Chain A
Amino acid sequence: MKTAYRPYTLIAELTHRCPLRCPYCSNPMDSVCSDTELDTETWFRVFDEADALGVVQVNLTGGEPLLREDLDRLVERAAERELYTNLITSGIPLTFERLRRLKICGLNSVQVSMQGAREAAADSMAGGSFFSRKLEVMRWVKSLGLPLTMNAVLHRDNLDEIEDVIRLGERVGADRLELANVQYLGWALHNRTALLPTREQIDRARTVATEAKRRLRGTMDVCFVLADYYADRPKACMDGWGRRYLVVNPVGLALPCHLAHTLPGLSFDNVRHRSLADIWDQSSGFNRFRGEDWLPDPCRSCPNRTEDFGGCRCQAYHVTGNPAAADPACALAPDHWTIEAARTRAAHVAAAPVLFEYRSMRRAARD
């Protein structure tokens, strides 16, 4: 049976390898740096099949997509299919010449992640000396006439420097600034106590961001990504399960979101064995949380269900243990107390030093 939904965006996670070690990474904690990544030809087929399914945008991401040596060929193929290509990158490792070549291959836009506006603290977060190189990369993006998104991930330790982050975005001429509050999944959930800001921090940052959005309208699109731990309602995760987004991860699993395979009881297919159209329409994993039939109480009668689609399934599972539970970020959810407890804890540890564990790669086999 064909589903009524159409994927518009393919999130192509080309690799989980990354030179950075950010402790808020939302990638699965058991990511492996194995040699089981999809090869070039399979990605070509994925792009072709995505185009046939109606996809018009592709986010080339990871991990760090620049670590794929075939990146320029992948961009070229996506461009041949008229897909709008976004490179989502840390900017490491890149040269001006390689970026120029990616543009010639058809790259449409570049998003560079920043760990903050202050060099020492940002480098400490990223786990290496990258800050000044990232600034240079953003200048290259602009000098090549490519649209630039600067993405700054915000947490307890850098939220108070949001004015500096905005100024940095203006200085590098970003067309778009994502002020992205950490989403507490993957490594970030593991490090939540060290990362979660207080309500006062979030409220102040939101006010500053709103003012900047107004002031910079038409020049820099300022986007303050919802801090769902401090919102009354959950985020519309992925615009709803299996509705508009399709993720293909480094080993070829096709998923509604990049963590969907961490949910128990769901089964997902690999693009090596099944066509993307088949998977999108028929795989049980994609259909599990589509539509409204699966909604728990109180979501099933909630007027917001057409806006938030029941929130985030991964958050529900990783916080409550039940992937079909109401997203605990919602103030109406039975398990909302877990989020409140985390917030209370954040208020108590606000003055304590931040201790976190760096993201690292787990090897598939012991070596």
Chain B
Amino acid sequence: MPDSIIRPWLSSKARLRLDRRTGRHLLLYPEAGLDLNDTGFDILRRCTGGQTTDEIIRELSRTHAGTPPDEIARDVRAFIMTLADRGLIQEAR
């Protein structure tokens, strides 16, 4: 298991969908799911293999201008690794 993911890709076992009851998004995978906040969804919808983690951090720093960039970098990396531990995010091939 690597310490970081360069180009994150949402595993095929996970599916993002809108939760019509709350207006938030859910990440569904076998037998479980995560209720995502807006930032979580903002990160995951970019995990298509098309962007690097660094690029995702730069984009989020622009849209979340009130938060210090190093805080965003730390949070994004931690979030991606938490999901990678569960096999929900992988390195894009």
Known: A217-B85, A221-B86. A147 touches B30 (CB 8 A): yes
Contacts of B58 in A (CB 8 A): none
- List A residues 101-130 near B (Cβ within 8 Å): 108-109, 111
For residue A89, CB closer than 8 A to chain B, the reply is: no
Q: From the candidates A59, A82, A108, A218, name the one contacting B84 in the complex (CB within 8 A).
A: A218
> With A56-B19, A218-B85, A220-B87 in contact, is A109–B13 under 8 Å at CB?
yes
Q: Contact check, B87 vs A218: say whether CB atoms are below 8 A apart.
A: yes
**A217-B1, A217-B85 known; A56 and B30 CB under 8 Å?**
no
| Contact indicator A147/B29 (Cβ below 8 Å) | yes
> Is A267 positioned at the interface, with any CB of B under 8 Å from its CB?
no
* Apart from A57-B31, A109-B29, 17 more pairs, CB < 8 Å: A54-B21, A84-B15, A86-B30, A108-B28, A147-B30, A149-B30, A149-B31, A175-B13, A175-B30, A176-B30, A176-B87, A217-B85, A218-B84, A218-B87, A219-B87, A220-B87, A221-B86
Q: Is A8 an interface residue (CB 8 A)?
A: yes
Determine the main DSSP class of A at the interface with B: loop
Contacts of B29 in A (CB 8 A): 84, 109, 147
Inter-chain residue pair count (beta carbon < 8 A): 54
Give chain A residues whose Cβ lies under 8 Å from the Cβ of B63.
none
| Interface residue ranges, A against B (CB under 8 Å) | 6, 8-9, 54, 56-57, 59, 82, 84, 86, 108-109, 111, 145, 147, 149, 175-176, 217-221
Contact B33 A8 (CB under 8 A): yes
Q: Within the assembled complex, what's the spacing in Å between the Cα atoms of A147 and B87?
A: 11
Shortest CB-to-CB span from A218 to chain B, Å, is 4
CB nearest neighbor in A for B26? A56
Size bracket of the B interface: 10 to 19
The A-contacting residues of B in range 7-39, CB under 8 angstroms, are: 11-13, 15, 17, 19, 21, 26, 28-31, 33
Closest to B2 in A: A218
Most B CB within 10 A of own CB, among A9, A217, A218, A221: A218
CA of A108 to CA of B19, assembled, Å: 18
A219: chain B residues at CB < 8 Å are 1, 87
15 A-B pairs (CB sep. < 8 Å) = A9-B31, A56-B19, A56-B26, A57-B28, A57-B31, A84-B28, A108-B28, A109-B30, A111-B31, A145-B12, A147-B11, A147-B12, A149-B30, A176-B87, A218-B85
The 9 residue pairs across chains A and B that have the minimum distance between CB atoms = A147-B13, A84-B28, A218-B1, A109-B30, A54-B21, A217-B1, A217-B85, A221-B87, A218-B84
CB atoms of B87 and A175 under 8 A apart? yes
The reply to whether B31 and A108 contact each other, CB–CB distance below 8 Å, is: no
- Is B13 in contact with A56, judged by CB distance below 8 angstroms? no
A86 and B87 alpha carbons, distance in the complex (Å): 17
With A175-B87, A218-B87 as contacts: A86 and B31 at CB distance below 8 Å: yes
Chain B neighbourhood of A86, CB < 8 A: 30-31
List residues of chain B with CB within 8 A of the CB of A217.
1, 85
- CB-defined contacts of A8 to chain B, threshold 8 Å: 33
How far does the alpha carbon of A54 sit from the alpha carbon of B21 in the complex, in Å?
A: 7
| Closest-CB distance, A305 to chain B (whole angstroms) | 23
Determine the distance from Cα of A57 to Cα of B28 in the docked complex, in whole angstroms.
8
Give Cα A176–Cα B33 distance, bound, in whole angstroms.
15
With A and B bound together, what is the CA distance between A56 and B25 in angstroms? 11
Interface core residue of B13, B19, B86 (most chain A CB under 10 Å): B13
Q: Could you tell me if A108 and B87 are in contact, using CB atoms closer than 8 angstroms? A: no
Tell me the bound Cα distance from A111 to B33 in angstroms: 16
Assess whether A108 is in contact with B15, with CB atoms less than 8 Å apart. yes
**Chain B neighbourhood of A221, CB < 8 A:** 86-87
B17 surroundings in chain A (CB, below 8 A): 56, 82
**For residue A145, which residues in chain B have a CB less than 8 angstroms away from its CB?**
12
